[in-house]
Amino acid sequence: MKIQGKTSVPGDKSISHRALLISALAQGTSQIVGLNYGDDVVRTLEILQDLGVQISYQEGSVFVEGKNLSFNSPHKVLDCGNSGTTMRLMAGVLGGQSFESTLDGDFSLRQRPMGRIIDPLSLMGCKVHGAMGGTTAPLTIFGGDLQGIHYELPVPSAQVKSALLLAGLQARDTTTIIERIPSRDHTERMLQSCGAPIVRKGNQIEIVGGRTLQSQIHVIPGDFSSAAFLIGATVGLSGSELIIEKVGLNPTRLGFLTVLQAMGAHLEIIDSEEWGGEPVGDLLVRGSTLTGVTVEGELIPLLLDEIPILAVLATQALGRTMIRDAGELRLKESDRLASLTSELTKLGAQIVEQPEGLEISGPTKLGGAKVHSHGDHRLALALEVAALFAEGKVEIQDRECGAISFPGFSQTLHKIIVG
C-alpha cells in the first residue's frame, strides 16, 4: 500500500473562524472563499446570525454583512458546541457589546479552562460569570465600556491572544499584549489586512480601540493541521509521493514540518504565494525512513494540534521520540496525552505517558484492535492513519467526530491510496 497523486484539504479552520468574526465586526460586505464547513466553524457562523449578522451564500462564497462593531442582543443562549475557539474568541467580541449574553457548549467544552480569558476580560472592565468558581462554561458576559490594558499571557495561547485583540478593538485607548512564546498569528494578520491599528514590537502586540475595520475578500488556504494527517500517512508509507495543493504555510503553524525534517522526512514547499497576508503553497511529501527525536520548549505551541499524528509516526520511527512541555494537551477535547497512550497501546505501540508529554519507542509493528476516539476529532484522524500502518483490522469507535475539523477525510484518503 502507498499514497500517490495530488489532493487538497478543507479551508483552514482557525482562519475561517477569524474571517467570519472579523467580517462581522467590519463595515460593509465581506466575501469569504473556501470557508471550512466543519461543525466548529458552523457554530461561529450560527452565533453571528443569532447576533443579527446577515450571512448569505452564492457560488461557493459566503457573504457577511458587517455590523461595524455593534451587534444585536441575542434572544437565547449562544451554543458553541465543541468549539473552544468559538467560545474564547466570541467572549472577546461580546465583551465589548453593551448587552448581556451567555455562551455555552457541550459536556467536553464545559470542562475546558475559561479562566484564562475571564481574568483579562475582567481587567478590561467586562463582568463574566462562569461555572466552577468562574473558571468554566457556561459563561454569562455583561459587556461594554472596555478599557485597554497591558497584559502578559501566562501561557502561549492564540485563542486567548485573539480574544483580547477582539476585545481591544472595541476598548478605549490601547491594549498591549505581551507574548513571551509565539503562538498562531492569524488574527493579527487578518486585522492588519482590514485596516486595524495593530502593531507588533518585539514580543508585544498593540491595538488601538474604536477604529473601523474595512470589509475584504478573504480567500481561505487549506488547513495545515488537516493536511498534517495526509502528510503523516504519506511519510509513513514507503514509496509514497503526494502533492497537497494550496495549503496554508504560516510560519507559526509549521512546527510539525520542522520536526518531521529533523526525523528525516522528505518534504518540499513548491509554488508559494501570499493570500491576504497568509503564506500559501503546494507541499510535496514523500515516504521516508524516520528517526526518533526530542520535541520540547518553544516548538510545542507551533505543533500542538499535530502531536496526535506525530505520536503515530513516532511508533514507526527508529529509536525513541520524547515529547515534553505539552501539558496543554490535557485540556483539549480529550486528555490527549492519556487518550493517545491508551489507544496506541491497544495497537501494540511502545508508549509511556509522562506528566507533560509522551515517550514513544519504535519502530513497532502495529496490530489490529478496537480503539476509541474519545470524541476527539484529532485523535479520530490520527487513529485512521495508524490503521494504515497496522497489520490487522482497526475498528475506530466514534470516528465520525473527525468531521469537526476534516469533513470527508476517509474519502480523501482512500482516493490517493494505491496498491
Specify the pLDDT at position 114.
96
Report the SS3 class of residue 313.
helix
Instruction: Kindly state whether residues 57 and 182 are assigned to the same domain.
Output: yes
Among the three residues 187, 219, 251, which one is the final residue of a domain in this structure?
219
Is 329 a residue whose pLDDT tops 90?
A: yes
Percent of the chain with pLDDT over 90: 96
Instruction: Kindly state whether residues 38 and 180 are assigned to the same domain.
Output: yes
Instruction: Kindly state whether residues 306 and 373 are assigned to the same domain.
Output: yes
Specify the pLDDT at position 306.
98
pLDDT digits (tens, 9 = 90+) for 132-188: 988 999 999 999 999 999 999 999 999 999 999 999 999 999 999 999 999 999 999
Report the SS3 class of residue 265.
coil
Q: Which of 305, 325, 376, 398 is catalytic?
A: 305
Specify the pLDDT at position 304.
95
319 part of a folded domain:
yes
Instruction: Kindly state whether residues 179 and 232 are assigned to the same domain.
Output: no
Instruction: Kindly state whether residues 206 and 239 are assigned to the same domain.
Output: no
Specify the pLDDT at position 419.
78
d(CA 394, CA 385): 10
Q: Domain range spanning residue 123? A: 13-219
Instruction: Kindly state whether residues 152 and 212 are assigned to the same domain.
Output: yes
pLDDT digits (tens, 9 = 90+) for 32-63: 999 999 999 999 999 999 999 999 999 889 99
pLDDT digits (tens, 9 = 90+) for 63-110: 999 999 999 999 999 999 999 999 999 999 999 999 999 999 999 999
pLDDT band at 202, cuts 50/70/90? Answer: very high
Specify the pLDDT at position 262.
98
* Residue located via cell numbers 472596555: 146
Specify the pLDDT at position 113.
93
Q: How many domains does the chain have?
A: 2
For 318, phi and psi rounded to 5 degrees? -80, 120
SS in 3 state form for 247-261? EECCHHHCHHHHHHH
Instruction: Kindly state whether residues 207 and 261 are assigned to the same domain.
Output: no
For 293, phi and psi rounded to 5 degrees? -140, 175
> Where are the strands (E) in 67-210, listed by range?
78-79, 100-104, 127-130, 136-142, 150-152, 174-178, 198-201, 204-208
Among the three residues 178, 201, 219, which one is the final residue of a domain in this structure?
219
7 part of a folded domain:
no
pLDDT digits (tens, 9 = 90+) for 222-281: 999 999 999 999 999 999 999 999 999 999 999 999 999 999 999 999 989 999 889 999
| 12 counts as catalytic | no
Type and span of the H or E element at 268: strand 266-275
pLDDT band at 115, cuts 50/70/90? Answer: very high
d(CA 203, CA 418): 47
Instruction: Kindly state whether residues 201 and 318 are assigned to the same domain.
Output: no
What pTM was estimated for this model as a whole?
A: 0.94
Specify the pLDDT at position 119.
95
Instruction: Kindly state whether residues 320 and 281 are assigned to the same domain.
Output: yes
Q: What is the bridge-based pairing of β-strands 357-362 and 319-323?
A: antiparallel
d(CA 268, CA 184): 22
d(CA 408, CA 419): 21
Specify the pLDDT at position 149.
98
Instruction: Kindly state whether residues 274 and 303 are assigned to the same domain.
Output: yes
Instruction: Kindly state whether residues 319 and 388 are assigned to the same domain.
Output: yes
Contacts of 278 (CB under 8 A, 6+ apart): 15, 186, 189, 221, 248, 250
d(CA 365, CA 309): 16
Specify the pLDDT at position 133.
86
1 part of a folded domain:
no
Average pLDDT on 196-218 reads 96
The dihedral sign for the CA sequence 286, 287, 289, 295: positive
CATH number of the domain bearing residue 166: 3.65.10.10
295 part of a folded domain:
yes
Specify the pLDDT at position 37.
92
Instruction: Kindly state whether residues 268 and 321 are assigned to the same domain.
Output: yes
185 part of a folded domain:
yes
* Mean of pLDDT over the chain: 96
d(CA 201, CA 178): 10
82 part of a folded domain:
yes
